[in-house]
Amino acid sequence: MTYQTSFFSPCKVNYMLTITGVRPDGFHNLVSLVAPTRFGDELFIEEAGEDSIECNLEGVPCDESNLVMKAAAVFRRATMMNRFFKFNLVKKVPHGAGLGGGSSNAATALLALNQICGYPLSNGELERLSALIGSDCPLFLRGKPVVMRGRGELLEDLPENAQNLIASLKLLIFKPNFSINTGWAYKTMKESGKMYISEQEAEDALLSWIKNPEIENLPLVNNMQIPAFEKFPALEAVLNFIRNEYNLPCLMSGSGSACFAVVNNLQPDALQSLKDAIKKRLGESCFITEA
C-alpha cells in the first residue's frame, strides 16, 4: 500500500530563553517558554523501497544528514519494522533561524511514521527517541506551548490559562538574510562564561508570568541575544526600534537570527508600515511572515 499524505511541521518561537550554564556533558542547561506557531513546512510521505528525500530549499541537505532521514532511521531501529519512505519536504521556514525548522521536521516525521505504521510507539517513546535526534525535537511532539528544561528534553505542560494566552498571540516573524549557527552561539557563551542567567532568576521570571499570564507580562528574555547582538548589531537596533516606535513586545527567537513581535493590537495599516520599516532596516531580502 502506498501513501501520499501531507503532514504540517510548525516552527517554534521561544518567548523566554535563559541559558543557565554548561553541563558536564558539554551541552547547556536552559529554561525556556516555547511554543509551536501557526507557520511551518509541509512534509509529504510515500512508502518506497528505500529512504530518500527531496526538498525545495537550497542549503537543506538531501541525504542521511537531513533530520527527517535521521528520524526514519531511528524509528526503524526502535520498531524493528523494515519499512522505507520517500519524503518530499516543502520548506517555508528559513533554516539557521532559531525557529527549530529542522527539529520540527524530524518530530513530524516520527509522528507521521508512527501513524502510518499503526502506532507501534507510545507518545513517551516518541519523545525519548526525538531527543536522540536533537535537544529541541521533543517540544514539537507536544503540539502546544511548554516549559523546556535540561538541554531541552525535559518538558512541562502549562496551566490552561497560560496555554490560551499563548494561543491567542498574533506574531510577525522576520529573519534577515544572514543566519546564526546554534553551535557557534553556545560555544561563544561557553567561552565568555559571563553570559549566563541564574536558574533561580529564570524560574522566578517564569513563575511570575504563569501566575499572571498576560501579554504585558510575557517574560521576554533571551540571553542568546548577547552573542547574536555582538556579531550582528542590526538585530538589536531593529528590536529597539519596534519597542520604541511601535510599543510592541518583541524578541529574538532561539539562537537567532529570526526575531518576532507580538502584533495583536496592530491595525492592518500599521502592520504594513511595520513590515516596510523592518525591510528598510534589514534589507529587501528579509524574510517576513505572520503567524
One of 13, 97, 129, 185 touching ligand ADP (CB under 6 A): 97
Please choose, out of 61-69, 115-123, 209-217, 242-250, the segment that lies near ligand ADP by the rule CB under 6 A: 61-69
Q: By the 8 A CB rule, do 14 and 26 touch?
A: no
**Binding of ligand ADP by 242 (CB under 6 A):** no
68 contact choice in ligand SUD, ligand ADP, none (CB below 5 to 8 Å, kind-dependent):
ligand ADP
Query: Is 63 part of the annotated catalytic residue set?
Result: no
Which letter does DSSP use for residue 181 in this model?
-
| AA letter at 169 | L
Q: Measured at CB, which residue is nearest to ligand ADP? A: 102
Cell for 209? 508570568
One of 103, 114, 130, 135 touching ligand ADP (CB under 6 A): 103
> Measuring CA to CA, which residue among 141, 31, 15, 120 is closest to residue 78?
120
One of 31, 67, 202, 251 touching ligand ADP (CB under 6 A): 67
Nearest-angstrom CA–CA distance, 47 and 42 = 17
Tell me how many residues contact ligand SUD (CB under 6 A).
19
- Residues flagged as binding site for ATP: 94-104
Nearest-angstrom CA–CA distance, 71 and 45 = 13
Nearest-angstrom CA–CA distance, 177 and 283 = 8
Paired strand residues for 90? 42
38 contact choice in ligand ADP, ligand SUD, none (CB below 5 to 8 Å, kind-dependent):
none
Q: Measured from the CB atom, is 61 or 283 closer to ligand ADP?
A: 61
Task: Please say whether the dihedral angle defined by the alpha carbons of residues 58, 143, 44 and 174, taken in this order, is positive or negative.
Answer: negative
Please choose, out of 22-30, 166-174, 212-220, 276-284, the segment that lies near ligand SUD by the rule CB under 6 A: 22-30
Query: H or E segment at 163?
Result: helix 160-167
CA end-to-end span of the chain, whole Å? 36
Please choose, out of 22-30, 102-110, 192-200, 267-275, the segment that lies near ligand ADP by the rule CB under 6 A: 102-110
41-60 residues in contact with ligand ADP (CB under 6 A) are 60
**Binding of ligand ADP by 98 (CB under 6 A):** yes
**Binding of ligand SUD by 153 (CB under 6 A):** no
Query: Is 211 part of the annotated catalytic residue set?
Result: no
Nearest-angstrom CA–CA distance, 29 and 164 = 27
The set of catalytic residues is 12, 136
